[in-house]
């Protein structure tokens, strides 16, 4: 009898154990939009159940907190490990998921016969924190307890296959950070004001010199001369050089590069660049950039994009002869409702991060002029993207983003949190605490904030320690003004600023005057690239993640902007004031001062012991 009872107990225990720990039908919501279909999107119809989606599953990284600690250690000029950036192998080791996470996700996929299916084309990232595979939509719907539809964006007519909510088995919630494509509806937009695009004239030397009344020396721009009064309404490379005290020729071009990231079928034109250099930077004639196509990104030279040309013409002309790389990232449009081909998932930031983190070497400086309202990005997605930029920083790359062109908020400024209340709307990825965000200015005497310069406070990310005091100083002076319209404890942006209006750009043989923080970010990034060149020439590592340095030592090399504001949401917006402000950040660059600060030996004030990386099972190393 006792034997039979024991056998019965073991049988019941075993049968209960499996569903207790592996209940794949015990679903819990991972993310859902409160107001249903996001604003600006409409349902076209059900997604075809047999079509396959390229799915990414993000696994929780077991050492992510250690990785963040490393980032601040190697980025703080007062720390004894300043500049000791990690190698790809070290970052991969700290990015790896816990074996339990890997095992559970594999068990889940095996339950649906996906783990070893050749049709799934499963791959893993080098650290194992991402699993990518192809899954039929009908099967994915059963796994996630949801329904996918084809959605169309009313303004752009872009179509996506998405869902407004998805669930995961309860047991996976602590192991999976995000699954895509799911609830990410955001379309990254160039941070370029369309209202400030004005055709100046056809490209020709005569038309060029007539259209752009610049200070010249024998028909060639002379950057050694003072700032021309015409720079108040026409910005050219010589204006930037004169205004920001730039007089430096790169010498570390064999081990320094500048990356420019573009999305949405924006292609940079080689021929337009040559015309631009002929008129505005003749000593750089025949300078060129390389193109890297990511996630089926294109390179249609017969259809150049104004955004792409703006970025590359100023990044290259200001950093020449530093090698420039244009990353053309695919993802728009991903789906045509009347075909049955495999759709592109249109997760542009993740596509770029996946690619760049798989490379053995990365540019020391990377600039991106795209973004969208933070509230349109699922928080879990935003966190994983932000962590990807953090990894670039800990490996020694300075990552810069435009702050946006909607001032404190665009459109009706209505929140999508269910309250439908008026609030300031911050921009992502500008709000990520691991990137350097660049706001906009205009004018030269004095230089002041341009009124569309995006700035404010994140609703997703808390304020990082490196900016605590400068931001608190601003908030103390602001008092109760705009109380309730912004998150006073959020990551504050922008960090710095640069000119953002009246940039002369050549596209398709025409000269355009262009405005937007799309111009500010590549401009500031080009000067950061020059700083990295100077450091490399001095046998120092590149700056890497800039913000801890900018908010401590680098601020001494910035021009404080104290005029202008960024009105929006039916308010006057924030005012540019002495010290940091959410319009121009810490200010605009004085390159000569920044260079002296960047190559000056640092006296480490940190007391932490240097970590022995052998405990991680990988060798020490870095730049």
Q: Which of 62, 92, 141, 311 is catalytic?
A: 311
Give the 3-state secondary structure percentages of the chain, helix then strand then coil, rounded to 5.
30, 25, 45
φ, ψ for residue 290 (rounded to 5)? -100, 155
In the block, which residue shows the tokens 């294109």?
Answer: 298
Q: Is 124 helix (H, G, I), strand (E, B) or coil?
A: strand
581 among annotated binding-site residues: yes
Q: Which of 518, 520, 521, 529 is catalytic?
A: 518
CB atoms within 10 A of CB 598: 24
CB atoms within 10 A of CB 444: 20
The gap between the terminal CA atoms of the chain, to the nearest Å, is 71
Phi-psi region of 67 (alpha: psi -120 to 50; beta: other; left: phi over 0): alpha
Cα–Cα distances (Å) from 198 to 221, 305, 511, 518, in that order, read: 22, 15, 9, 15
Is 415 part of the annotated catalytic residue set? no
Angle value at C-alpha 111, between 106 and 116, nearest 5 degrees: 60
Q: Over 166-228, what HEC string results? A: EEEEHHHCCCEEEEECCCCCCCCEECCEEEEEEEEEECCHHHHHHHCCCCEECCEECCCCCCC
Is 65 part of the annotated catalytic residue set? no
409 among annotated binding-site residues: no
Residues 6+ apart with CB under 8 A from 410: 373, 425, 568
Query: 325, 289 in Cβ contact below 8 A?
Result: yes
Structure tokens at 186: 């955001």
CB atoms within 10 A of CB 249: 10
Q: Which of 92, 141, 307, 533 is catalytic?
A: 307
Phi-psi region of 20 (alpha: psi -120 to 50; beta: other; left: phi over 0): alpha
560 among annotated binding-site residues: yes
DSSP-derived letter for residue 36 is S
What stretch of H or E contains 589? strand 588-589
Structure tokens at 404: 């946006």
Query: 588, 554 in Cβ contact below 8 A?
Result: no
Residues 6+ apart with CB under 8 A from 406: 425, 427, 452, 454, 568
Is 307 part of the annotated catalytic residue set? yes
Binding-site residues for Ca(2+), in ranges, read 560-561, 579, 581
Binding-site residues, in ranges, read 560-561, 579, 581
Active site residues: 307, 311, 518
């Amino acid at each position: 009898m006792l034997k039979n009872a024991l056998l019965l107990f073991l049988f019941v225990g075993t049968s209960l154990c499996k569903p207790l720990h592996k209940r794949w039908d015990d679903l819990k919501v991972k993310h859902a939009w409160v107001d249903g279909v996001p604003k600006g999107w409409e349902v076209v119809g059900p997604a075809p159940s047999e079509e396959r989606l390229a799915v990414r599953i993000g696994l929780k990284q077991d050492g992510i907190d250690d990785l963040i600690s490393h980032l601040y250690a190697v980025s703080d000029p007062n720390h004894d490990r300043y500049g000791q950036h990690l190698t790809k192998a070290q970052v991969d080791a700290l990015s790896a998921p816990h074996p339990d996470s890997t095992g559970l996700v594999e068990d889940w996929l095996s339950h649906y016969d996906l783990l070893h299916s050749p049709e799934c084309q499963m791959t893993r990232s080098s650290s194992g924190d991402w699993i990518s595979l192809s899954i039929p939509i009908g099967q994915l719907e059963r796994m996630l307890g949801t329904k996918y539809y084809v959605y169309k964006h009313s303004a752009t007519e872009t179509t996506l296959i998405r869902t407004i909510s998805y669930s995961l088995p309860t047991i996976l919630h602590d192991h999976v950070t995000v699954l895509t494509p799911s609830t990410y509806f955001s379309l990254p937009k160039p941070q370029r004001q369309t209202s400030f695009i004005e055709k100046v004239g056809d490209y020709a030397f005569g038309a060029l010199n007539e259209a752009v009344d610049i200070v010249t020396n024998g028909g060639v721009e002379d950057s050694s001369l003072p700032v021309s009064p015409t720079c108040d309404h026409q910005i050219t490379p010589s204006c930037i050089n004169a205004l920001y005290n730039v007089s430096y020729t790169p010498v570390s071009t064999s081990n320094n590069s500048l990356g420019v990231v573009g999305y949405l079928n924006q292609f940079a034109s080689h021929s337009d660049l040559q015309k631009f250099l002929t008129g505005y930077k003749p000593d750089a004639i025949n300078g060129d950039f390389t193109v890297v196509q990511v996630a089926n990104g294109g390179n249609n030279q017969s259809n150049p994009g104004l955004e792409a040309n703006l970025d590359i013409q100023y990044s290259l002309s200001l950093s020449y002869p530093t090698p420039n790389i244009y990353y053309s990232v695919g993802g728009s449009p991903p789906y045509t409702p009347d075909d049955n081909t495999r759709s592109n998932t249109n997760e542009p930031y993740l596509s770029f991060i996946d690619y760049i983190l798989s490379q053995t070497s990365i540019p020391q400086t990377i600039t991106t002029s795209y973004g969208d309202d933070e509230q349109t990005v699922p928080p879990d997605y935003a966190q994983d993207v932000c962590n990807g930029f953090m990894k670039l920083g800990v490996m020694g790359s300075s990552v810069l983003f435009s702050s946006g062109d909607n001032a404190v908020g665009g459109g009706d400024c209505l929140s999508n949190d269910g309250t439908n209340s008026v609030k300031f709307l911050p921009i992502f990825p500008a709000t990520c605490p691991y990137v350097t965000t660049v706001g906009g200015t205009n004018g030269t005497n004095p230089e002041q904030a341009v009124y569309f310069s995006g700035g404010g406070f994140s609703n997703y990310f808390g304020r990082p320690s490196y900016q605590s005091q400068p931001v608190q100083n601003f908030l103390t002076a602001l008092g109760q003004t705009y109380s309730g319209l912004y998150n006073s404890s959020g990551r504050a942006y922008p960090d710095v600023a640069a000119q953002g209006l009246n940039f002369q750009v050549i596209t398709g043989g025409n000269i355009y005057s262009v405005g937007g923080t799309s111009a500010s970010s590549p401009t500031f990034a080009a000067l950061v690239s020059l700083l990295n060149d100077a450091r490399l020439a001095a046998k120092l590592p590149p700056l890497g993640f800039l913000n801890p340095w900018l908010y401590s030592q680098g601020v001494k090399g910035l021009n404080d902007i104290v005029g202008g504001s960024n009105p929006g949401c039916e308010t006057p917006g924030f005012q540019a004031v002495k010290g940091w402000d959410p319009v121009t950040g810490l200010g605009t660059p004085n390159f000569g001062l920044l260079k002296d600060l960047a190559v000056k030996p640092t006296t480490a004030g940190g007391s932490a012991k240097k970590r022995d990386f052998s405990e991680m099972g990988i060798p020490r190393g870095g730049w």
